[in-house]
Amino acid sequence: MPSRRSRPAGAPVEPPDAADAMEVALRHLATRPRTRRELTLRLRRSAVPEPVIDATLDRLVELGYVDDAAFARWWAEQRDRHAPRGRRMLEAELRQRGVPRDVIEAYRAEHDEPQRAVEDEALPGTEAERARDALERHLRGRAMPDDRKALQRIGMFLMRRGFDPEIVRATIRDAAATDPQEPED
């Protein structure tokens, strides 16, 4: 797409054509995977006409650059690696990014199997493991507090991360039971 600076002053602005739309979309995809909706919004901001947007996105889907199901798997894996979230918050984040409901339901069915194999042993496999990982990251090596207010704050922290109350209670109970208490003099 020509730069704004290269256009003579007062020259009419032409809407981007198919090649320009593809360039805009590929630049947007260069940083991370995107959903179809994210790309649609980006192309609309660039004043690309709707028929060109549809044709560009269809071509990107055909080439394998846009796949909402793959995006959902990638997003969940990134969350598990860097900032573990509960299933509810993960699904809310996917909805925010425009992942269709049927894709989210398929992802949920795929990952709620009780005996699923975890490909990467470093990633948490269950909701309880993700909650435990989030708690460990939150504590950063500090001992589990025994103060009731501090435990409530930790519980609210985990619930804000999308974990169910039962999972939160069990995680805090397990962490308190396994936390070695310092002997007092």
Taking 80 as the threshold, does the pLDDT of residue 174 lie above it? yes
Residues 99 and 33 in one domain: no
Residues 54 and 132 in one domain: no
Residues 172 and 134 in one domain: yes
Q: Among 18-27, 87-96, 142-151, 172-181, which stretch is predicted with the lowest mean pLDDT? A: 172-181
CA dist 171 and 132 (Å) reads 6
Task: Give domain status of residue 183, yes or no.
Answer: no
Task: Give domain status of residue 7, yes or no.
Answer: no
Helix (H, G, I), strand (E, B) or coil at 31: coil
Q: State the DSSP code for 5.
A: G
Task: Give domain status of residue 3, yes or no.
Answer: no
Residues 23 and 93 in one domain: no
The predicted model scores a pTM of 0.71
Taking 60 as the threshold, does the pLDDT of residue 15 lie above it? yes
Q: Among 15-29, 98-112, 117-131, which stretch is predicted with the lowest mean pLDDT? A: 117-131
Residues 28 and 104 in one domain: no
64 close to 73: Cβ distance less than 8 angstroms: no
Q: Which two tokens stand for residue 36?
A: 């179809």
Confidence of residue 183 (pLDDT cuts 50, 70, 90): very low
Give the model's pLDDT for residue 126: 83
Task: Give domain status of residue 13, yes or no.
Answer: no
CA dist 182 and 144 (Å) reads 11
Give the model's pLDDT for residue 115: 42
Total number of domains constituting the chain: 2
Q: For residue 24, what is the domain's CATH number?
A: 1.10.10
Residue-wise pLDDT tens digits, 24-77:
999 999 999 999 999 999 999 999 999 999 999 999 999 999 999 999 999 999
Residue-wise pLDDT tens digits, 74-109:
999 998 888 888 888 999 999 999 999 999 999 888
Residues 34 and 97 in one domain: no
pLDDT, the chain, mean? 85
More confident residue, 136 or 5: 136
Residue 32 belongs to domain spanning: 18-66
Give the model's pLDDT for residue 98: 95
Residues 82 and 152 in one domain: yes
Residues 166 and 132 in one domain: yes
Task: Give domain status of residue 139, yes or no.
Answer: yes
Confidence of residue 180 (pLDDT cuts 50, 70, 90): low
Residues 87 and 109 in one domain: yes
Query: What is the rounded (10 degree) CA torsion for 118, 91, 132, 77?
Result: 40
Give the model's pLDDT for residue 30: 95
Residues 47 and 131 in one domain: no
Residues 94 and 136 in one domain: yes
Q: Which residues contact 182 (CB under 8 A, 6 or more apart)?
A: 143
